[in-house]
Structure 1
Amino acid sequence: MAISDFSLNTINGQTIPLSELSGRVLLLCNTASECGFTKQYAALERLHQRYQGEGLSVIGFPCNQFGQQEPGQPVDIQQFCQTRYGVSFLLSEKIDVNGHNAHPLWHYLTEHKPGILGSKAIKWNFTKFLISREGVIIGRYGPLTSPEALQGRIEKLLQEKSS
């Protein structure tokens, strides 16, 4: 299996095979609208606006597994993200990132890039995975790592040519 073997359903109900994003750098983040880290939506959007033309795709994955901080329906989530933070990057349908019902992509991510002390579980909202153009998981970053802190790594990956 590889990242490009997975699909996601968008918040609008469309299915997108990640193979359509092959050759792009991906920044994947589990999100929530009522979290202390929700302000990271704005930073994710800034990265999206600045680098989408160079090959970056930011994807938010709304998740209600941590403190029930994403209780809304898809239309509520999308409206909140757009009106509050101007989000124009891709949002998936609401998913689980841990447990038996975890989205297969997130199961893959956590299996292949464990967190601190080898833990595979996502600990909280706004955990981020950075993926190279070749589909290699470059890093896993907890919610305390701001999207801005990844800018240098993103720029480096964008400068590398896809093989």
Structure 2
Amino acid sequence: MTSSIYDFNYTANNGEDISFQAYQGKVLLIVNTASKCGFTPQYDGLEALYKKHKENGLEVLGFPCDQFGHQEPGSDDEIAQFCEMRFNLSFPLSKKIDVNGANAAPVYEMLKQEAPGLLGSKRIKWNFTKFLVNKEGKVVKRYSPTTKPEQIESDILALL
């Protein structure tokens, strides 16, 4: 039996334990993020999507990760301050996590299993890999780091 996203929890940037059940009935865009990556400007597009569609049921969730080129070196507080000051982010961020390897966050293990990458690869290749989850908690699609948030908007609208 495949699990749904609602079987998992994550720790928010402020230390609060959050159950994905809090997002039932919403469309989720889940992204592993980094503050010092060439794709970091995608925060602007992610925030724009969030602001435009949150009233209709979209949640964007950022999962900072330092596994790719040491591009997220800061503490959870430093990451939150950077995202707030540089991008005025209002969507939730988790505490820094691993997305690959022995310490990968369990929710990321499920996301990779449900939506493999190119040629069936399970590993996350780089920062800003995105996963779209429908209102029933099922992973619908995986997007590469080069896919800009605005390119995902039509897929999001189809699920809202």
TM class by smaller structure: over 0.9
Measured after TM superposition, the shift of residue 105 of structure 1 is: 0.1
* 1-structure distance, mates of 2:25, 2:151: 23
Q: Which runs of 5+ in 1 are unaligned?
A: 159-163
Tell me which residue corresponds to 2:102: 100
- Alignment partners' CA distance in 2, 1:20 and 1:137: 16
Q: 1:156: how far off?
A: 1.0
Task: Note the C-alpha offset of 1:136.
Answer: 1.5
TM-score by length of 1: 0.96
Q: How many residues align?
A: 158
Q: How many angstroms apart in 1 are the aligned matches of 2:115 and 2:76?
A: 29
Task: Give matches, 1:1-163, under 5 Å.
Answer: 1-158=3-160
Cα RMSD (Å): 0.5
Q: Within 1, Cα distance between the matches of 2:15 and 2:104?
A: 18
Extract unaligned runs of 5+ from structure 2: none
Distance in 1 (CA, whole Å) between partners of 2:140 and 2:4 is: 14
**1:64-109 CA deviation, whole Å, 9 max, x = no partner?**
0000000000110000001100100000000000001000000010
Instruction: Quote the residue 1:161 is aligned against.
Output: none
Aligned-partner Cα distance in 2 for 1:97–1:147: 20
Task: Give the 3-state SS of the residue equivalent to 1:122 in structure 2.
Answer: coil
Whole-angstrom CA distance in 2 between matches of 1:27 and 1:21: 11
Amino acid in the other structure paired with 2:52: R
Runs of 4+ in 1 over 4 A off after TM superposition: none
Shift of 1:135: 1.1
Q: Secondary structure at the match of 1:90?
A: coil
TM-score, structure 2 as length reference? 0.98
The alignment partner of 2:69 has SS state of coil
